[in-house]
Amino acid sequence: MTRHRQQFAKESESDAVRFLKKRGYKILEQNYRNRIGEIDIIAKDKNTIVFVEVKARKSRYYGDAKWAVNSRKQRKISMVALYYLKATKQTQAKARFDVVTIHEEKEEPQIEIIKNAFELAYG
């Protein structure tokens, strides 16, 4: 990933964090990594642990960002989430997967949240 793309990704995740905080989410982790993979944001929305994938695009040339979380990515996020829940002894907690999409527009990024974007996917 180029330096410019890394900077764009970092800024997009910061935008997503601000967006989520304004909606009452409490941020628990950012860029959580384990041996399986990474989750962009882990947050709490009331009594639910939310695993958030952030997808950002500078244009819609390659399609809408919300379609970028394919079944392979969902499986990977699910496995990392299960590992997190086990490691933090929260396997009985309510949890869900949200996707935050960001499209760079002329002046202000257009941010959308898709709650319960997908179900636990593994296997």
At residue 103 the predicted structure's pLDDT band, cuts being 50, 70 and 90, is: confident
* pLDDT of res. 48: 97
- CATH class (in words) of the domain with range 3-118: alpha beta
Distance CA 69, CA 75 (A): 10
Tell me the whole-structure pTM to 2 decimals. Answer: 0.90
* Parallel, antiparallel or unpaired: strands 48-57 and 26-33: unpaired
Number of helices followed by number of strands (H, E) in the chain: 2, 5
Q: Is 85 within 8 Å of 91 (Cβ atoms)? A: yes
Tell me the pLDDT tens digit for each residue of 59-69: 655 666 666 78
